[in-house]
Amino acid sequence: MGVFFAILASIGWGFSSVFVGASLRRIKPLPGTALSIISSCLTVAVITMFLQRKELFSISLEAAAWFAIIGIMSFSMGRLFNYQGIQRIGAARAATITSASPLFASLTAVIFLKEIPNLLVVMGTILVVGGLYVIMRSK
């Protein structure tokens, strides 16, 4: 089931890059990011209030702090930088480059969570770096 959700997320992000590209012809990245984040927050808040209200209000202070950091780094700044990239180099190239996130997730997991990468993770990392090289060299 986790793989299914990950595939759905990838499909959603793929479509969103194209829709963002079309939207950025009419609005700048910063207000576009603000509108996107506001609509996302409202959507998730409503769903959470219906499906997991008790869990929302029982979250620990430490977990709330971590999710606040994630919200600033990933949801806000990551989205803004992604929109800037889409505006400057197009949806297809920006989406391909942002797909390098497993590389950074792997490195961060090794450093902070003391995870030990297996052979497949190392090989995947090498392939991601190679793909990034190809994309960055193309015009």
- The chain-wide mean pLDDT, for the chain, equals 89
Domain ranges of the chain: 2-91, 100-139
Answer whether residue 104 shows pLDDT above 90. no
Full 3-state SS string of the chain: CHHHHHHHHHHHHHHHHHHHHHHCCCCCHHHHHHHHHHHHHHHHHHHHHHHCHHHHHCCCHHHHHHHHHHHHHHHHHHHHHHHHHHHHHCHHHHHHHHCCHHHHHHHHHHHHCCCCCCHHHHHHHHHHHHHHHHHHHCC
**How do residues 23-55 score in pLDDT, each as one tens digit?**
999 999 999 999 999 999 999 999 999 999 999
